[in-house]
Amino acid sequence: FKENRKDDIWLVDFYAPWCGHCKKLEPVWNEVGLEMKNMGSPVKVGKMDATSFSSIASEFGVRGYPTIKLLKGDLAYNYRGPRTKDDIIEFANRVAGPLIRPLPSQHLFEHVQKRHRVLFVYVGGESPLKEKYIEVASELIVYTYFFSASEDVLPEYVTLPELPAVVVFKDGTYFVYDEYEDGDLSSWINRERFQGYLNVDGFTLYELGDTGKLVAIAVIDDKNSSVEHTR
């Protein structure tokens, strides 16, 4: 595995036999492997006892169990989301695919926009900004998709002050990255990859904490949304 794994893309569950969370993940992991095989995915799904192969686990920075990583070439991407079949498969397909996905037509742009609540798009030709966008994508592809398009593919309501540009579409509107006002592109994308209002679970709250954003949380009783049951 260590010698040949760079020839393929691997989604690996590093586990310990005594780990309760690992045992809980096992049936989900079996479903992930079966569905990705049926999909014809190029991603190979496997698992490794990190206590028996501790040197390999250590090489990939495994510190706890279970740890899910996608191995692609020289890179190892950590999965930190919910341990559900659909979430794990979505992560694998996103990271295993192209780093930047082109949107060559208005029809495809509209289709993708309907599927993604938050959509990052680079607009323009070759530039230092594009190089930075690719660099940020390699870092944050574990969290979100990255796209590119020409200006004529964008919706008519979009007005860009200049090209090239990085645009995020979310919450029914769009925002254009401004280096002078928004600072580092990586930090801006990390902040903007969330909707303005969203349901928060343990994983989302953890990710929000990494962005440095100020977060206002409303605690709501799903069965009773009156003011008296909202904090």
Q: What share of the chain is helix, strand, coil (3-state, %, to 5)?
A: 40, 20, 40
Q: Record the pTM.
A: 0.84
Catalytic residue among 9, 11, 12, 22: 22
The answer to whether 22 is a known catalytic residue is yes
Count other C-beta atoms under 10 Å from residue 51's C-beta.
14
Catalytic residue among 19, 28, 185, 200: 19
User: Under CATH, domain 5-96 is a member of which superfamily?
Assistant: Glutaredoxin (3.40.30.10)
Q: At 218, is the pLDDT very low, low, confident or very high (cuts 50, 70, 90)?
A: confident
101-195: which CATH topology?
A: Glutaredoxin (3.40.30)
The answer to whether 19 is a known catalytic residue is yes
CATH 3.40.30.10 in the chain, residues? 5-96, 101-195
For 11-36, write each residue's pLDDT tens digit: 999 999 999 999 999 999 999 999 99
Task: Classify strands 165-170 and 173-176 as parallel, antiparallel or unpaired.
Answer: antiparallel
Sign, Cα dihedral of 111, 93, 78, 127: negative
Task: Classify strands 9-15 and 146-149 as parallel, antiparallel or unpaired.
Answer: unpaired
